[in-house]
Structure 1
Amino acid sequence: MLIKVYGSAVFGIEATTIVIEVNVDRGIGYHLVGLPDNAIKESNFRIAAALQNIGFKIPGKKITINMAPADLRKEGSAYDLPLALGILAASDQIKSKNIADYLIMGELSLDGSVQPIKGALPIAIKAQEEGFKGMILPEANAKEAAVVDGLCVYGVNNIEEVIAFFDTEKPLDQTTIEVEHEFNRLSDYPEFDFSDVMGQETIKRCMEIAAAGGHNIILIGPPGAGKTMLAKRLPSILPPMTLQEALETTKIHSVLGKVNNMGLMNQRPFRSPHHTISSAALVGGGSYPQPGEISLSHNGVLFLDELPEFERRVLEVLRQPMEDREVTIARAKYAVTYPSSFMLVASMNPSPGGYFNDPDAPVTSSPAEMQRYLGKISGPLLDRIDIHIEVTPVPFEKLSDQRKGESSLDIRKRVISARKIQSHRFSQIDWVHYNAQMGTKLIRKHCVLDEPCKTLLKNAMQRLNLSARAYDRILKVARTIADLEGNDNISQAHISEAIQYRSLDREGWLG
């Protein structure tokens, strides 16, 4: 008897429906075809033990299973549940009248319990698109899949529940969540708040500008000046994610199984990889490509602490994703594309010893040592960072001041106002939402300068020997500063402030 059960495979952040055809006939043997990997080939041992422990068995007949499309590589243990149900239905041990109406995924333990899977959200989206009546998957993934409207999602803890559902029509509990409620869950009291930072008003201003326009920023300063402390508080002033951004972010984290039954992710991600990270872990890769840290930072912040300590070849892989806001990982037979629209926040010491031009410093470095240290970061990479700012140590008077600084919530209000201006400005363009995403044409359209501004910028370009890319970055930052002030036009003050945030272009830094 031939039975068809439906599962799904995830490639990149998109799912493809897999038809599991199970045929039980006279003879003896177990044949699993359709490019399964080792985890799927081993499933017959898990299935046999699980069925035996709940009172069923694999029939002693010839079992042929095809996973179509047969030329598409399948991987992982999430096909255990549909394979087991297909075998039971094809051997007439359970009824199968409406089994094809449901998309089924889950890994089996030897006692018949169902373990979590990866990629539940993209699979649920695909099931809804293809008109399945419902989806059956592990209880631990049910909230994640229930985000999708128009699809009945059933979370199960044991294969016996699924068997009873099909065989005796015992109903399963449907998982439902209020998407708007999940999306609007937002803490008004962030763990890291800018009110904890003493002094550093100039740096706070830079962080506000970076958050308002989505600009990349690098902090340069001696140890203990507060670079890491400031960076960790940046997410607290970023605007809330839109529903579309929340879905995109959740899909990426779902592929790696990092959603943890929380439903929809409503907080912008903050990723801080160690400087020993490999280029594959940062950008994504592997035999079966998986998203890396830059994709896990999508719609959030990627923080690279002690930037010169990262291997240069690792940093260089950032250049293309920072421009294109996506990364494509190619293999011999296919390629997958992951979105990677992130804010890069980097920090670094100005020299190996951590101090620069400070006669009272405990450790000093020669100019040659400092140049070698800064030379670990390429000019093209620094060009792609909009804001360079020096962080100086906080004096004792500021550290001992008992007064609280401005809170993240107050700064966030101004950031949200500026983002609203940008959202209205780019409302007709699907792929641009804030100033940092502007291309050359949009810069020329929305960053028009009068003659005094042009003269000021021309003098800065000639004096600092700035590149064409740095020119564009200055215009973007100036546009954001104007938006924060609610001005339609860019003034000389905006241009001057934006130029000040190019510290590493000034004489005495990179030669």
Structure 2
Amino acid sequence: MLKKVFASAVFGVEASTITVEVNVDSGIGYHLVGLPDNAIKESNYRIAAALQNNGYKIPGKKITINMAPADLRKEGSAYDLTLAVGILAASKQIQANNLEEYLIMGELSLDGSLQPIKGALPIAIKAKEEGFKGFILPKQNAKEAAIVNDLKVYGIENIKQVINFFDKGEEIEQTIINTREEFYKNLDYPDFDFADVKGQEGIKRCMEIAAAGGHNIILVGPPGAGKTMLAKRLPSILPPMSLKEALETTKIHSVVGRVKADSGLMAQRPFRSPHHTISNVALVGGGSYPQPGEISLCHNGVLFLDELPEFKREVLEVMRQPLEDREVTISRAKFTVTYPSSFMLVASMNPSPSGYFNDPDSPVTSSPAEMQRYLSKISGPLLDRIDIHIEVTPVPFEKLSDERKGEASIDIRKRVTKAREIQTERFKDSETVHYNAQMHVKHIRAHCKLDDASKTLLKTAMERLNLSARAYDRILKVSRTIADLEGEKQINGSHISEAIQYRSLDREGWLG
């Protein structure tokens, strides 16, 4: 007897429906076809034990299972439950007349209990698009899948529940989530707050500008100056995620199985801080069966690279294209997947190998030549994509010992959100540009017009400070953000002069 059961496979951040055809006929043998990987080939042992321990068995007949489309590679243990239900239905051990209405997935333990799967959210989205009535999956993934409205989601703990659901009509409790209510309930602020930062008012201002315009930023300073502390607090002043951004981010984390069981939808912007020993595949994504890398896991959030020159040069160079295009495409012989990677890059570094400026009062000093050689580990094209360079100096004792709290993140966030709203209105007709850091040349020319006095100021600064040509557009973008923070429609001289200060690494004596 032939029975069809439906499952799904995830490629990139999108799912494709898989039809599992189970045919039980006279004879002996177990044949599993349709490009399954080793985890799926081993499923018959898990299925046999799970069925045996729940009063059922794999029939001693010829069983042929095809996973269609047969030319699409299937991987992972999430098809155990699909195959088990198909075998029971095809061998007439259970009555299952409405199998085609449900999408079924889950990894089986030997006692029949279910283990969580990866990619529950994109699979649920696809199930709704394909018109399935419900989605049966492990209970640990139920909240994640229930984000999708108009799809019945059943979280189960044991295969016995599924058998009784189809064979005896026993009800399974449906998981229901009010997506908007769940999202806004969890829309709290991160643990780190700018109120804890002593001094560094100039750097806080710089971080506020970076957050308001979505600008990439690099912090240069000696050990203990507070670079990491400041970077960790950046997500606390970014505008709250929209529901669309939260869904995009949750989909990516769902694919790698990083969504927490007790919270279906991610409401906080991700903050990723990989170690400098990371490989280029781990950073941008890839592998034999491509998985998202760190730059995709921090989509709509912050990627923090501490001690930037310590990263391998080839690792940093592979970020150049994703920083520009805000997505990364991974190509293999038989398929291509694209992962979104729209993130803010925050980097920090010491100014020299010893960590200190050319200062006779420092415990260890470095010569200008050593500083130049160390800084040159970072390529010009990568720096080209970083709008703001700022020097961080150590905090004096008087400010460290001050008991007064600094300005709270919630207050800074209000100004940042207001500036972002101005930019959203400005770029409402553009599909690719949403905030100032994403502006192309035509947008810069349209929205960053200068009066004669501002042009003269910028020209003088570029000549006297030996600023590179690449700094020109960056200064205009940052100036536009500063003007937005102040609610000004026109960029003026004060905005330009402040933006010029944030190009430290373009000056003579740093990178030449």
TM-score category (smaller protein): over 0.9
Q: Match of 1:175, SS?
A: coil
Alpha-carbon distance in 1 for matches of 2:162, 2:507: 67
Q: Match of 1:20, SS?
A: strand
Give 2:43's aligned residue.
43
Alignment of 1:17-96 (within 5 A): 17-96=17-96
Alpha-carbon distance in 1 for matches of 2:231, 2:156: 41
Residues 471 and 506 in structure 2, CA contact (< 8 A), matched pair in contact too: no
The code of the aligned residue for 1:508 comes to G
Deviation of the 1:137 alpha carbon = 0.4
Q: TM-score, normalised by structure 1?
A: 0.98
The code of the aligned residue for 1:135 comes to F
Residues 384 and 469 in structure 1, CA contact (< 8 A), matched pair in contact too: no
Alpha-carbon distance in 2 for matches of 1:6, 1:475: 54
Alpha-carbon distance in 2 for matches of 1:41, 1:292: 27
Residues 35 and 73 in structure 1, CA contact (< 8 A), matched pair in contact too: yes
Give 2:433's aligned residue.
432
Alpha-carbon distance in 2 for matches of 1:144, 1:433: 28
Identical aligned pairs, as a percentage? 79
Give 2:105's aligned residue.
105
The alignment status of 1:234 with 2:234, answered yes or no, reads yes
The alignment status of 1:185 with 2:185, answered yes or no, reads yes
Once the two structures are superposed, residues 361-418 of structure 1 have per-residue CA deviations (whole angstroms, 9 ceiling, x without a partner) of: 0001122222221111111111110000000111111111111111111111101111
Alpha-carbon distance in 2 for matches of 1:461, 1:372: 24
Give 2:510's aligned residue.
509
Q: Unaligned 5+ residue runs, structure 2?
A: none
The code of the aligned residue for 2:301 comes to G
Residues 85 and 163 in structure 1, CA contact (< 8 A), matched pair in contact too: yes
Alpha-carbon distance in 1 for matches of 2:122, 2:435: 26
Residues 103 and 135 in structure 1, CA contact (< 8 A), matched pair in contact too: yes
Residues 10 and 123 in structure 1, CA contact (< 8 A), matched pair in contact too: yes
Alpha-carbon distance in 2 for matches of 1:226, 1:83: 55
Alpha-carbon distance in 1 for matches of 2:253, 2:283: 15
Give the stretch that moved more between structures: 66-75 or 433-442. 433-442
Residues 188 and 409 in structure 1, CA contact (< 8 A), matched pair in contact too: no
Give 1:9's aligned residue.
9
Residues 155 and 175 in structure 1, CA contact (< 8 A), matched pair in contact too: yes
The alignment status of 1:164 with 2:160, answered yes or no, reads no
Give 1:135's aligned residue.
135
Residues 358 and 367 in structure 2, CA contact (< 8 A), matched pair in contact too: no
The alignment status of 1:333 with 2:343, answered yes or no, reads no
Once the two structures are superposed, residues 213-236 of structure 1 have per-residue CA deviations (whole angstroms, 9 ceiling, x without a partner) of: 111000000110100010011111
Once the two structures are superposed, residues 417-473 of structure 1 have per-residue CA deviations (whole angstroms, 9 ceiling, x without a partner) of: 111111111222233221112222222221122222222223334445545543222
Alpha-carbon distance in 2 for matches of 1:129, 1:252: 19
The alignment status of 1:291 with 2:283, answered yes or no, reads no
Alignment of 1:370-385 (within 5 A): 370-385=371-386
The code of the aligned residue for 1:492 comes to G
Q: Match of 1:483, SS?
A: helix
Give 1:176's aligned residue.
176
Residues 281 and 292 in structure 1, CA contact (< 8 A), matched pair in contact too: yes
Residues 478 and 495 in structure 1, CA contact (< 8 A), matched pair in contact too: yes
Deviation of the 1:187 alpha carbon = 5.9
Alpha-carbon distance in 1 for matches of 2:368, 2:202: 27
Structure 1 pair 68/469, CA: closer, same or farther in 2 (3 Å)? farther
Give the stretch that moved more between structures: 48-57 or 430-439. 430-439
Deviation of the 1:250 alpha carbon = 0.2
Give 1:497's aligned residue.
498
Once the two structures are superposed, residues 297-333 of structure 1 have per-residue CA deviations (whole angstroms, 9 ceiling, x without a partner) of: 1000000001111111111111110000000111111
Give 1:202's aligned residue.
202
Residues 466 and 508 in structure 2, CA contact (< 8 A), matched pair in contact too: no
Q: Match of 2:148, SS?
A: coil
Q: Match of 2:67, SS?
A: strand
Give 1:478's aligned residue.
479
Residues 190 and 268 in structure 2, CA contact (< 8 A), matched pair in contact too: no
Alpha-carbon distance in 2 for matches of 1:22, 1:472: 61
Alpha-carbon distance in 2 for matches of 1:369, 1:387: 23
Give 2:280's aligned residue.
279
Residues 358 and 368 in structure 2, CA contact (< 8 A), matched pair in contact too: no
Give 1:365's aligned residue.
366
Alpha-carbon distance in 2 for matches of 1:271, 1:97: 47
Once the two structures are superposed, residues 261-306 of structure 1 have per-residue CA deviations (whole angstroms, 9 ceiling, x without a partner) of: 2111000000000011011000101100000000001000000001
Alpha-carbon distance in 2 for matches of 1:150, 1:426: 33
Give 2:317's aligned residue.
316
Residues 436 and 476 in structure 1, CA contact (< 8 A), matched pair in contact too: yes
Alpha-carbon distance in 2 for matches of 1:310, 1:463: 33
Give 1:122's aligned residue.
122
Q: Match of 1:320, SS?
A: helix
Alpha-carbon distance in 1 for matches of 2:188, 2:121: 27
Residues 215 and 436 in structure 1, CA contact (< 8 A), matched pair in contact too: yes
Q: Match of 1:174, SS?
A: coil
Alpha-carbon distance in 2 for matches of 1:432, 1:48: 54
Q: Match of 1:163, SS?
A: helix
Structure 1 pair 280/188, CA: closer, same or farther in 2 (3 Å)? closer
Deviation of the 1:186 alpha carbon = 4.2
The code of the aligned residue for 1:60 comes to G
CA RMSD in angstroms, aligned pairs only:
1.1
Deviation of the 1:181 alpha carbon = 1.6
Give 1:455's aligned residue.
456
Q: Unaligned 5+ residue runs, structure 1?
A: none
Alpha-carbon distance in 2 for matches of 1:187, 1:360: 47
The code of the aligned residue for 1:443 comes to I
Q: Match of 1:225, SS?
A: coil
Give 1:147's aligned residue.
147
Residues 351 and 365 in structure 1, CA contact (< 8 A), matched pair in contact too: yes
The code of the aligned residue for 2:45 comes to F
The alignment status of 1:260 with 2:260, answered yes or no, reads yes
Q: Match of 2:224, SS?
A: coil
Give 1:387's aligned residue.
388
